[in-house]
C-alpha cells in the first residue's frame, strides 16, 4: 500500500493529486478491494475492472455537482472508497453497513440508487433534462457495462437521448462479460468498427475505443466528452477482474462475485465448499426432464451461474438459452417457444421477474401458454439487500387466472413439482429461495406428480391453532410446534389456486397463522383472508412474513429472526393469537 489512497478524503483530493501519483492510487484501490472482498465477499471482478475508469471520472468530473450514475452499482467499490466511505468499507453488505450497491441516501456522490441493470441511461437522461428545466448546472454521466447494454431499457434510453440532442455522457465499460460471457450480437459488434456506426446512428458522438486501464487515455477521452454539446459515448475496453490473477483467470465469471477467500503465497484459498442449493437441485431435476423430453428447454436472462445452469448448458448447448440481461425478452421468448410446442422453463430471480410483469400477464397467462417459471431467490436474499429481495412474486403473481404457483419445502419436492408443471397445459411458477437444501424430515412426504393442493405436515388431534405455511418455512413451523401438541401445520404448497377445502379445514380450530417468506401485503396470507371472507368463516388470523417496508442488506438468518420467521417468532405469533391478540 503506497499510502496515496489514505490521503483521499473526497473526490477533490483525486483532482488535486499530481498525475504521477495516479498509478499508485489505482494500485491502492485494487489492494483495498481485493482484501475487502476476501474478508467480507462482494462484487470483486467488476470493481477491479473499473478502477482506472472511476479514478479518471473523478479526475475529470466534479461529483456531486456533476452527476455520476453507475448502472447496477456493483462495479463502484473504487467510487465508494474515493468518496469518504473507506473507513466503513469493512461493513460492506452487512446489516447497518455500507450498501451493496449505490444509494444517494448513503452518499451525495451516488446519483442513482440501483442494483438492477440497464437503468443508468434513462435515469441519467432524466436527471439531465430535470436540471436543464430547473436551470441547474452540472454534467451528467451514465456509466454502463456491455452487459447492461443488452437490456431493452438501455435501448429505450439511448433512443430518447440520441433524439434529445442533450449533452448526456455515456461511458461504456466494455469487458465483454456480463456475469458470464456476454451474449448475443452486441459483444461482437462492440469489437468492430460497427460500434462507432451503431452509436453514431443513434445520434451520439463516439469517442474510442480507449484502453480502459490507461489513465491518461481515459482522462483525455472523458475531457473530450465533457466538452461535447451533444450526446456522447466513451467506449472503454477493460478487463473484468484486472489485477487479481485468480479473477483474471476465471473464464466463467472473471471473479464477478467472490469471497470470502484468502490469498496466501500467491494462491487462492477459498472458504469451505457450500452445501447443495435449491438452484442446484432444481437444475438437476430440470436436467433429468430435458434428458427425458426433447421439448423441454431452459431460458435464463443472464443468470446462468446463479441459476446453476452451467452444466446443463454444457450438456444441452442448443436447449439452454442465455438471452442476456433481458427479462422481458426472456419471458416473451419463452411464450413463443411454448406457442411453438416446446416446453420452456424460464429460470429467473424473483426480483428480476418484476421487470417482466406485463410479459407474464400479456404474453404468457392471457394466451394460457405452458411456460414454467423457476422463480429463484424468492424470499430474503441477504447481502444484496433491498434491490434484490424476493418479496413480491407471490403477491404479484397470484391474481393471474390459470397460473399455478408452487413452492417446495425441501429439495425432494422439486421433482414432482416440475413434473406437474411440465405436464400442465397452463403456465406454472415454482418459487424457491436462495440457500442450501434442508434435510427431509420424517413428517414430510414429497408425493408424486401430478401434485394436488396442500399437504398436512402435522395434524393435531384436537387442534387449537393451525400454522399455514408456504415453502421451506414449513420446516420452521414443524420445529415450532414440537412444544405445542395441539397445533397443526398445513403446507399450502400451492399459493394459487388455493386448496380451499384444506384451508377451510385449517380454520375450523378458530386460530390460523399464515407464514410466508414474501410480503404479507397481497401474499398468501391475504389470499387466505380473502377466502375466509368469501366463505363467511371467521377464525382469528395472523399474518407473518416480510413487512410493509423494504428490507435492507444483512444476514438473512438474523433478518428471519427479526421478522418473526424463526421458530421462536412463530411460537410467539401463535401464542399471542390464542390469547386473543390482534392480527
Ligand atoms: C435487471 C437485472 N438483471 C440481472 C442482474 C444481475 N446482474 C448484475 S451485474 C450483471 C452483469 C452486468 O454486466 P455488465 O453491465 O457488463 O457489468 P460488468 O459486471 O461486466 O462490469 C448481471 C447480469 C441485475 N442486476 N439486474
Ligand atoms: C449484482 C447482481 O445483481 C448479481 O451479481 C447478484 O448479486 C447475484 O446474486 P446471487 O449471489 O444471489 O446470485
Ligand atoms: Mg461487462
Residue at which a domain ends, from 213, 235, 264: 264
Q: Is the predicted pLDDT of residue 265 greater than 90, yes or no?
A: no
Distance of CA 16 to the CA centre of its chain: 38
Q: 147 labelled as ligand-binding?
A: yes
Q: How many whole angstroms separate alpha carbon 79 and alpha carbon 52?
A: 11
Q: Is 408 contained in some domain?
A: yes
Residue at which a domain ends, from 431, 447, 477: 431
Query: What was the pLDDT predicted at 262?
Result: 83
Q: Is the CB of 178 under 6 A from ligand 1?
A: yes
Segment 301-330 shows an average pLDDT of 98
286 and 167 housed in the same domain: no
Q: Is the CB of 302 under 6 A from ligand 1?
A: yes
Beta 511-519 vs 494-496: how paired, if at all?
unpaired
Contacts of 367 (CB under 8 A, 6+ apart): 335, 339
Q: Is 443 contained in some domain?
A: no
Q: Is 105 contained in some domain?
A: yes
Mark the residues whose beta carbon lies below 5 A from ion ligand 3.
145-147, 175, 177
Q: How many whole angstroms separate alpha carbon 316 and alpha carbon 496?
A: 32
Using the mean position of ligand 3's atoms as its centre, give its distance from the Cα of residue 182 in Å. 7
Per-residue pLDDT band at 538 (split at 50, 70, 90): very high
Query: What was the pLDDT predicted at 160?
Result: 98
ipTM here: 0.99
Query: What was the pLDDT predicted at 272?
Result: 55
Q: Is 240 contained in some domain?
A: yes
19 and 139 housed in the same domain: yes
Q: Ligand 1 test: best mutation among 48, 72, 172, most atoms within 8 Å of CB?
A: 72
116 and 88 housed in the same domain: yes
248 and 293 housed in the same domain: no
Query: What was the pLDDT predicted at 581?
Result: 55
Closest CA to 169 of 202, 118, 204, 217: 204
Q: Is the CB of 472 under 6 A from ligand 1?
A: no
- Check which CATH number belongs to the domain holding 574 and give it: 3.40.50.920
Which phi-psi region, left, alpha or beta, contains residue 47 (left: φ > 0; alpha: ψ -120 to 50)? alpha
Single out the catalytic residue among 85, 86, 93, 240: 240
Query: What was the pLDDT predicted at 580?
Result: 87
Domain range for 78 is: 5-264
- Can you list the alpha helix ranges (DSSP code H) found in 403-523? 414-423, 473-480, 500-507
Single out the catalytic residue among 59, 86, 313, 355: 355
Q: 373 labelled as ligand-binding?
A: no
Q: Is the CB of 413 under 6 A from ligand 1?
A: no
The string of pLDDT tens digits covering residues 334-351 is: 999 999 999 999 999 999
Q: How many whole angstroms separate alpha carbon 418 and alpha carbon 423?
A: 8
212 and 283 housed in the same domain: no
- Check which CATH number belongs to the domain holding 423 and give it: 3.40.50.970
Q: Is the predicted pLDDT of residue 11 greater than 70, yes or no?
A: yes
290 and 369 housed in the same domain: yes
Residue 517 sits at the vertex; the CA angle it makes with 512 and 521, to the nearest 5 degrees, is: 70
35 and 148 housed in the same domain: yes
Segment 358-379 shows an average pLDDT of 98
Please name the residue that has the C-alpha cell 428447454. 297
Catalytic, 355? Answer yes
The string of pLDDT tens digits covering residues 97-106 is: 999 999 999 9
Q: Over the range 499-522, which residues count as b (16 or more CB within 10 Å of their CB) and which as e?
A: beebbebbbebebbbbbbbbbbeb
57 and 99 housed in the same domain: yes
Q: Is the predicted pLDDT of residue 534 greater than 90, yes or no?
A: yes
What is the position in ligand 1's atom list of the atom closest to the CA of 175? 20
Out of 62-66, 212-216, 257-261, 538-542, which region has the weakest mean confidence (pLDDT)?
257-261
Query: What was the pLDDT predicted at 259?
Result: 79
What is the position in ligand 1's atom list of the atom closest to the CA of 72? 25
Q: Is 67 contained in some domain?
A: yes
Q: 220 labelled as ligand-binding?
A: no
Query: What was the pLDDT predicted at 435?
Result: 94
Using the mean position of ligand 1's atoms as its centre, give its distance from the Cα of residue 536 in Å. 48
Per-residue pLDDT band at 271 (split at 50, 70, 90): low
Q: 423 labelled as ligand-binding?
A: no
Segment 155-175 shows an average pLDDT of 98
- What share of the chain has pLDDT > 70, as a percent? 99
293 and 387 housed in the same domain: yes
413 and 461 housed in the same domain: no
Contacts of 158 (CB under 8 A, 6+ apart): 121, 170, 202, 204
Q: Is 61 contained in some domain?
A: yes
Query: Which residue puts its alpha carbon closest to atom 17 of ligand 1?
Result: 145
Query: What was the pLDDT predicted at 267?
Result: 82
Which phi-psi region, left, alpha or beta, contains residue 51 (left: φ > 0; alpha: ψ -120 to 50)? alpha
173 and 313 housed in the same domain: no
Catalytic, 193? Answer no
Q: Is the predicted pLDDT of residue 145 greater than 80, yes or no?
A: yes
Q: How many whole angstroms separate alpha carbon 502 and alpha carbon 6?
A: 63
Using the mean position of ligand 3's atoms as its centre, give its distance from the Cα of residue 104 in Å. 23
Using the mean position of ligand 2's atoms as its centre, give its distance from the Cα of residue 453 in Å. 32
Using the mean position of ligand 3's atoms as its centre, give its distance from the Cα of residue 317 in Å. 22
The string of pLDDT tens digits covering residues 501-526 is: 999 999 999 999 999 999 999 999 99
Segment 451-464 shows an average pLDDT of 96
Per-residue pLDDT band at 159 (split at 50, 70, 90): very high
On average, the pLDDT of the chain sits at: 96
421 and 475 housed in the same domain: no
Q: Is the CB of 218 under 6 A from ligand 1?
A: no
Q: Is 441 contained in some domain?
A: no
Identify the nearest ligand to the CA of 145 by its number.
1
More confident residue, 543 or 273: 543
Query: What was the pLDDT predicted at 553?
Result: 98
Provide the β-strand partners of residue 376. 349
Residue 189 to residues 193, 194, 198, 237, 331, Cα–Cα distance (Å): 8, 6, 9, 13, 25
Contact predicate 125/111, CB 8 Å: no
Q: How many whole angstroms separate alpha carbon 318 and alpha carbon 315?
A: 9
Residue at which a domain ends, from 264, 292, 320: 264
Segment 258-283 shows an average pLDDT of 84
Q: How many whole angstroms separate alpha carbon 476 and alpha carbon 487?
A: 13
Q: Is 272 contained in some domain?
A: no
Q: Is the predicted pLDDT of residue 394 greater than 70, yes or no?
A: yes
Query: What was the pLDDT predicted at 261?
Result: 87
Q: How many whole angstroms separate alpha carbon 277 and alpha carbon 308?
A: 9
Q: pTM for this one?
A: 0.97
Identify the nearest ligand to the CA of 180 by its number.
1
What is the number of structural domains in the chain? 3
Q: 175 labelled as ligand-binding?
A: yes
Dihedral sign for Cα 507, 512, 517, 523, please.
positive
Catalytic, 434? Answer no
Q: Is the CB of 388 under 6 A from ligand 1?
A: no
Query: What was the pLDDT predicted at 574?
Result: 98
Q: DSSP 3-state assignment of 322?
A: strand
Q: 327 labelled as ligand-binding?
A: yes
**Residue 231 in grid coordinates:** 450526446
Q: Is the predicted pLDDT of residue 583 greater than 70, yes or no?
A: no
> Beta-strand (E) ranges in 434-502?
455-458, 465-469, 487-491, 494-496
Q: How many whole angstroms separate alpha carbon 539 and alpha carbon 582?
A: 12
Amino acid at each position: 500500500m503506497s499510502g496515496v489512497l489514505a490521503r483521499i478524503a473526497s473526490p477533490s483530493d483525486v483532482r488535486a493529486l499530481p498525475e504521477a501519483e495516479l498509478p499508485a492510487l489505482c494500485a491502492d484501490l485494487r489492494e483495498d478491494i481485493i482484501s475487502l472482498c476476501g474478508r467480507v465477499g462482494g462484487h470483486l471482478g467488476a470493481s477491479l475492472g473499473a478502477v482506472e475508469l472511476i479514478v479518471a471520472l473523478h479526475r475529470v468530473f466534479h461529483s456531486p455537482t456533476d452527476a455520476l450514475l453507475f448502472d447496477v452499482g456493483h462495479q463502484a467499490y473504487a467510487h465508494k472508497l474515493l468518496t469518504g466511505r473507506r473507513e466503513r468499507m469493512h461493513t460492506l453488505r452487512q446489516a447497518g453497513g455500507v450498501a451493496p450497491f449505490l444509494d444517494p441516501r448513503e452518499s451525495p456522490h451516488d446519483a442513482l440508487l440501483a442494483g438492477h441493470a440497464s437503468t443508468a441511461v434513462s435515469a441519467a437522461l432524466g436527471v439531465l433534462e430535470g436540471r436543464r428545466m430547473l436551470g441547474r448546472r452540472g454534467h451528467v454521466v451514465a456509466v454502463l457495462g456491455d452487459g447492461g447494454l443488452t437490456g431493452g431499457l438501455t435501448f429505450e434510453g439511448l433512443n430518447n437521448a440520441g433524439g434529445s440532442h442533450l449533452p448526456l455522457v455515456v461511458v461504456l465499460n466494455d469487458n465483454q462479460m456480463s456475469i458470464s460471457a456476454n451474449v448475443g450480437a452486441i459483444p461482437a459488434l462492440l469489437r468492430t468498427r460497427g460500434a462507432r456506426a451503431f452509436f453514431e446512428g443513434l445520434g451520439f458522438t463516439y469517442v474510442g475505443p480507449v484502453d480502459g486501464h490507461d489513465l491518461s487515455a481515459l482522462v483525455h477521452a472523458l475531457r473530450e466528452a465533457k466538452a461535447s454539446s451533444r450526446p456522447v459515448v466513451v467506449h472503454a475496453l477493460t478487463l473484468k477482474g484486472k489485477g487479481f490473477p485468480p479473477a483474471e483467470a476465471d473464464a466463467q465469471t472473471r471473479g464477478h462475485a467472490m469471497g470470502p477467500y484468502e490469498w496466501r503465497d500467491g494462491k487462492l484459498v477459498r472458504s469451505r465448499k457450500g452445501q447443495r442449493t435449491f438452484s442446484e437441485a432444481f437444475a438437476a431435476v430440470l436436467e433429468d426432464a430435458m434428458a427425458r423430453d426433447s421439448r423441454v428447454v431452459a431460458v435464463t436472462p443472464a443468470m446462468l451461474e446463479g441459476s446453476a445452469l452451467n452444466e446443463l448448458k454444457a450438456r444441452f448447448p442448443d436447449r439452454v438459452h442465455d438471452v442476456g440481461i433481458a427479462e422481458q425478452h426472456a419471458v416473451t421468448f419463452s411464450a413463443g417457444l411454448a406457442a411453438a410446442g416446446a416446453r420452456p422453463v424460464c429460470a429467473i430471480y424473483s426480483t428480476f421477474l418484476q421487470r417482466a410483469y406485463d410479459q407474464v400477464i400479456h404474453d404468457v397467462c392471457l394466451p394460457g401458454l405452458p411456460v414454467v417459471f423457476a422463480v429463484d431467490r424468492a424470499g430474503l436474499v441477504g447481502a444484496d439487500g433491498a434491490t434484490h429481495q424476493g418479496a413480491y412474486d407471490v403477491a404479484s403473481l397470484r391474481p393471474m387466472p390459470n397460473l399455478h404457483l408452487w413452492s417446495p419445502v425441501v429439495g425432494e419436492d422439486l421433482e414432482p413439482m416440475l413434473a406437474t408443471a411440465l405436464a400442465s397445459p397452463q403456465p406454472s411458477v415454482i418459487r424457491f429461495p436462495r440457500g442450501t437444501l434442508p434435510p427431509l424430515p420424517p413428517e414430510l412426504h414429497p408425493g408424486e406428480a401430478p401434485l394436488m393442493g396442500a399437504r398436512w405436515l402435522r395434524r393435531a388431534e384436537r387442534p387449537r391453532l393451525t400454522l399455514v405455511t408456504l415453502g421451506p418455512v414449513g420446516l420452521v413451523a414443524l420445529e415450532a410446534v414440537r412444544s405445542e401438541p395441539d397445533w397443526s401445520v398445513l403446507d399450502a404448497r400451492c399459493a394459487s389456486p388455493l386448496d380451499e377445502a384444506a384451508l377451510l379445514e385449517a380454520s375450523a380450530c378458530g386460530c390460523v397463522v399464515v407464514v410466508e417468506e414474501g410480503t404479507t401485503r397481497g401474499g398468501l396470507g391475504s389470499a387466505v383472508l380473502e377466502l375466509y371472507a368469501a366463505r363467511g368463516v371467521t377464525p382469528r388470523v395472523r399474518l407473518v412474513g416480510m413487512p410493509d417496508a423494504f428490507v435492507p442488506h444483512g444476514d438473512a438468518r438474523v433478518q428471519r429472526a427479526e421478522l418473526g420467521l424463526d421458530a421462536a417468532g412463530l411460537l410467539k405469533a401463535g401464542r399471542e393469537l390464542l390469547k386473543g391478540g390482534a392480527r
